[in-house]
Amino acid sequence: MDKISILGGKTLEGTITISGSKNAALPILVSSLLTREISNLDNVPNLLDITTMKELLISLGIKIVAKEKSLFIEPSNNISTHADYELVRKMRASVLVLGPLLARFGEAEVSLPGGCAIGSRPVDIHINALKKMGAKLEIKDGYIKASVPNKKLVGADITFPKVSVGATENIIMAACLAKGKTIIRNAALEPEIDDLITVLNKMGANVYRSDSNKIEVEGVISLKGFSHSVMPDRIEAGTYAMAAVITAGRIELLKAEEKYLKNVIKYLNRVGAKIESTNNGINIEGPKVIKNIDMKTEVYPGFPTDLQAQAMALMSVAEGSSVIEESIFENRFMHIAELVRFGANIKNEGVKAHIVGCKALNGAQVMATDLRASSSLILAGLRAEGETIINRVYHLDRGYENLEKKLSMCGANIRRI
């Protein structure tokens, strides 16, 4: 099994090009189930999660041809409505095929999904919303078994009990082919959802945000193919920005978009970083001394939970003490034990982590526990004195494209072994 070795203590300087967003590309790929026509998706990152989604769609009858950063997607005339456990268990986003299959074919059998062990993230919100649209669903033998009388979903007025990115995406796609209007209240605000909405409207759908957290969808009879380029990955951009901060370096992030990172930039400014926007992206210059700042994760546009672990790595070497509160997932502090192995002073009390900054971290043998936790260990390793070995880096491969190469080009001593 691959490991990553880092010899820390290098000041990073250089340029990193931000890849296409994983979290935008996944639902856009799924939207190809809604049409009989060929589609083309550009700026697709080469990641394990993308490969898993491609394998799932191919198993359902979609033909996908990859050429560099582009995917050419061609549906067959014989689409299966059965999404098998062996593929769905690998990734939470696989449940997104439920809505499109149900909307287009009137039936679906989708395994309960898997993914990172960072919280329960139940599919109840998806199921209850589809029931309001006329679907009959039951969970049996580990599968969500769904059908629609008369093979046609019906528009409905749906209020989510809590904000859910996945449920928002699933119901938007399902509503595109439903009869009548669907209103989704308490919808998620993430820009990746708006990237999906852009694609669906290119396909001939009628989807719009009538209010910031209200999305309306007027169903249509059929959808055509699309051509689209995936938005840049704001979480990757935030991670590399923190790499510049933790090493007191300077990195230019090409293609990073400030408008998607406002609260992250505000946070990094408060810890002492200098940040400026350019025509090509964002420049980040890390401070000599990182300031201690309290932080709470929130739904977008608040500070993203997907950058919480990386922020904790920063605070572990900040001047003074700080508190990080996790309000999105109930089990997203598993990286604390691994950061402590570097010498970090962190104590977990429920949904809060209390951190006392230390002057230096020491290289250590550590283990990635989930995708974003793995990048926090990368940041700690870049700062630490001596060698760090990170195990179970398949988590990292789910969400970061060419990480070792990108950091090496900025002077990091990092390699895969």
Residue that is written with structure tokens 């990182």 in the block: 290
The answer to whether the Cα torsion of 39, 44, 50, 55 is positive or negative is positive
Helix (H) or strand (E) holding 356: strand 352-356
The CA-atom distances, in angstroms, between 231 and each of 19, 21, 69, 111, 234 are 9, 6, 13, 29, 9
Find the catalytic residue in 116, 176, 358, 410: 116
Is 97:60 a contact under the CB 8 Å cutoff? yes
The answer to whether the Cα torsion of 97, 231, 178, 128 is positive or negative is positive
Q: Is 198 exposed, middle or buried (0-12, 13-18, 19+ CB in 10 A)?
A: middle
CB-side neighbour CA atoms (13 Å) of 393: 22
For the chain, the maximum distance between any two Cα atoms, rounded to a whole number of angstroms, is 66
CB-side neighbour CA atoms (13 Å) of 246: 32
Q: Which residues contact 183 (CB under 8 A, 6 or more apart)?
A: 155, 156, 157, 158, 210, 214, 215, 216, 217
The answer to whether residue 358 is catalytic is no
Tell me the residue type at 54. Answer: K
Q: What are the beta bridge partners of residue 324?
A: 295, 353
Residue that is written with structure tokens 């929130």 in the block: 298
Which of 73, 70, 16, 74 has the alpha carbon at shortest distance from 43? 70
Instruction: Report the C-alpha gap between 218 and 112 in whole angstroms.
Output: 29
Instruction: Report the C-alpha gap between 217 and 363 in whole angstroms.
Output: 52
Q: Which two tokens stand for residue 30?
A: 């799924």
For helices 124-132 and 98-105, the axis angle rounded to 10 degrees is 20
Q: Which residues contact 243 (CB under 8 A, 6 or more apart)?
A: 12, 249, 251, 378, 379, 382, 407, 410
Active site positions, annotated: 116
